[in-house]
Amino acid sequence: MMRRPDTTNNTTTPSKNGVTVHNKLRKGLWSPEEDDKLMTYMMTNGQGCWTDVARNAGLQRCGKSCRLRWINYLRPDLKRGAFSIEEEELIIHLHSILGNRWSQIAARLPGRTDNEIKNFWNSTIKKRLKNSSKPSSSTHDQAPSDANKELLMEDIMFMRLNSSSSSSSSSMHAFTINTNYNLVPFPDTISNDCFLNNISSSLAHDHGMYDDANAHGIITMGDGHMVEEGYDHYFVPPLESASQEENGTNLDYAYQNYSRNINEINSNMINLNVHHDTKNIIKGSNLVGSHEMWEEGHEKMKVGEWSLEDLIEDVSSFPLLDFQVE
DNA sequence: AAAAACCCCAACCGCAGAGTG
DNA sequence: TCACTCTGCGGTTGGGGTTTT
- State residue A82's pLDDT score: 86
C14 C1' closest Cα residue = A3
- State residue A297's pLDDT score: 32
Report the DSSP pairing between strands A270-273 and A180-183: antiparallel
- State residue A132's pLDDT score: 62
The model carries a pTM of 0.52
Residue ranges near strand B (C-beta within 7 Å): A 1-3, 6, 26-30, 64-65, 68-69, 72-73, 115-116, 118-120, 122-124, 127
Distance A22 CA to C15 C1' (A): 27
- State residue A198's pLDDT score: 34
Nucleotide nearest to A35 (CA to C1'): B10
| Pairwise CA distance, residues A136 & A286, whole Å | 34
Distance A132 CA to B7 C1' (A): 19
- State residue A85's pLDDT score: 87
- State residue A24's pLDDT score: 67
Residues written for chain A: 326
Distance A126 CA to C21 C1' (A): 26
pLDDT tens digits, one per residue of A88-100: 888 988 888 888 8
- State residue A97's pLDDT score: 85
Residues of chain A with pLDDT under 50: 1-2, 6-23, 133-326
- State residue A65's pLDDT score: 92
- The conformational region for residue A154 under phi > 0 = left, psi -120 to 50 = alpha, else beta, is alpha
